[in-house]
Amino acid sequence: MQLEKYIIDEHNNELIDKHRRNLEQVAEGINGLDAVLKKLAAFNIAIPSWALGTGGTRFGRFSGGGEPRSLEEKIEDVGVIHALNRSSNSISLHIPWDIPENASSIKALASQLGLHFDAVNSNTFQDQPDQKHSYKYGSLHHVDKAVREQAIQHNIEVINYGVQLGSKALSVWLSDGSNFPGQLNFRKAFQNTLESLQTIYDALPDDWKVWIEYKPFEPNFYSTTIGDWGQSLLLANKLGGKAATLVDLGHHLPNTNIEQIVSLLLMEGKLAGFHFNDSKYGDDDLTVGSINPYQLFLIFNELVEGMDTRGMNHSTAIGWMIDASHNVKDPIEDLLQSVQAIKIAYAQALIVDKKALTDAQNNNDVALAQEILQDAYRTDVRPLIAEASLRMGGALNPISTFRRLKVRDQLIKERGTQTVATGL
């Protein structure tokens, strides 16, 4: 299904008067409003192909109905999200959960909806039915060269799919690690991983990047071979300029200062991008901003300051992706909420009074520095997001429009109630 612009406009018309009043109110206190709106309008976040169905847990899966049954239908759903918020113009594929068998028609469908393909993700954390060697004891770090070779070939295959689709990055996350002390020689595991990644790196086209994701635990619970940003950065530095570290917000031990990690990776030119989500306990993959929106704002504050210092283009310099999915919400509504939360944090970071903050820092005026940050954080920037969306032809309120138009009912009619999308 495709959402026509005039249908979105009709609903916008009902909301426009209230929107104008809200915008006027917030606009008063913002310097350089137009520049902020332009940055918000240019900002897009990639949608993961594995989040368009209702996610499961290891205990069960409850489909909400109308889930995409194919990659084409997933692309259509991203098209719906993008039509509503004008901020989700790409899709990140996980292979082999989604195999673009007919790349040229897949690409054509996407571009017809104004979409392109973001990073492609490899999967060596599950065994596929036809594969020769098992990943039970890891993949790129495996003690057996034949297993490592199979995992390398999979990554190269994923690059090849990505090339056909116009992607520019390979995202690698390994579940490789150990469950018990003594199971693994850490140094050899790391060296095997580096050697394997080097072969994958050598297969990258000139204009491609490889993004190395880290995670301290799960599914292994004693060690993970790329367990933290230090280990990822070590690999990225050894590999070369096309390699960088991907930060998945859920991949940290509780209370980690993620904004500090982000700041330093950016300084080193080694911040590949993000997998956005939120969490309370572990890698919960909850909707972005649903648990700790202040942390998200603090991350964006570092990003905006660091990018401006380095003269980077906010919207294109790094990869912006969502990696969240779960089992109780409508996946489209959930993704709309995640994008909205990211844009809110970004807008709040844009309106921080940077000059005043720098002065406060240089004067060791701690209370004032906090006031400046929280002044931005406590500003209701939603009318700015709505205005940017409106200017791009999107909805003033994407979720209410999605509900008003009864999109899910239409999808259920088209696809049925017993649908299970591939993914987590």
Residues at the contact surface with Mn ion, assessed by CB under 5 A: 248, 275, 283, 323
What is residue 223's three-state secondary structure? strand
Residue 408 interacts, among ligand LRH, Mn ion, none and using kind-specific CB cut-offs from 5 to 8 Å, with none
Q: Which residues contact 249 (CB under 8 A, 6 or more apart)?
A: 258, 274, 275, 276, 277, 278, 279, 288, 296, 299
DSSP-derived secondary structure for 261-299: HHHHHHHTT-EEEEEE-B-SSSS--BPTTSS-HHHHHHH
Residue 424 interacts, among Mn ion, ligand LRH, none and using kind-specific CB cut-offs from 5 to 8 Å, with ligand LRH
Q: Which is nearer to ligand LRH, 175 or 389 (CB)?
A: 175
347 φ, ψ to 5°?
A: -60, -40
Distance between CA 326 and CA 424 in Å, rounded?
Answer: 9
Q: Per-residue contact track with ligand LRH, 24 to 53, x per CB under 6 A?
A: --------------------------x---
139 close to 107: Cβ distance less than 8 angstroms? no
Size of the site for ligand LRH (CB under 6 A): 10
Q: Does 118 bind ligand LRH (CB under 6 A)?
A: no
What is residue 188's three-state secondary structure? helix
239 close to 196: Cβ distance less than 8 angstroms? no
320 φ, ψ to 5°?
A: -110, 110
| Positions in 119-178 near ligand LRH (CB under 6 A) | 121, 173
- Closest among 410, 412, 401, 419 to 81, alpha carbons compared: 401
Q: Which is nearer to Mn ion, 248 or 330 (CB)?
A: 248
Q: Does 245 bind ligand LRH (CB under 6 A)?
A: no
| Rounded least distance, CB 250 to ligand LRH, Å | 7
| Rounded least distance, CB 82 to ligand LRH, Å | 21
Q: Which is nearer to ligand LRH, 173 or 402 (CB)?
A: 173
Q: Which is nearer to ligand LRH, 77 or 283 (CB)?
A: 283
Q: Which is nearer to ligand LRH, 283 or 302 (CB)?
A: 283
| Rounded least distance, CB 119 to ligand LRH, Å | 10
Q: Does 283 bind ligand LRH (CB under 6 A)?
A: yes
Residue 385: which H helix or E strand, with range? helix 382-391
Q: How many CB atoms lie within 10 A of CB 283?
A: 18
Q: Which is nearer to ligand LRH, 107 or 215 (CB)?
A: 215
Residue 47: which H helix or E strand, with range? strand 47-48
| Positions in 179-218 near ligand LRH (CB under 6 A) | 213, 215
Residue 97 interacts, among ligand LRH, Mn ion, none and using kind-specific CB cut-offs from 5 to 8 Å, with none
| Rounded least distance, CB 249 to ligand LRH, Å | 10
243 φ, ψ to 5°?
A: -105, 140
Contact residues for ligand LRH (CB under 6 A)?
Answer: 50, 121, 173, 213, 215, 248, 275, 283, 323, 424
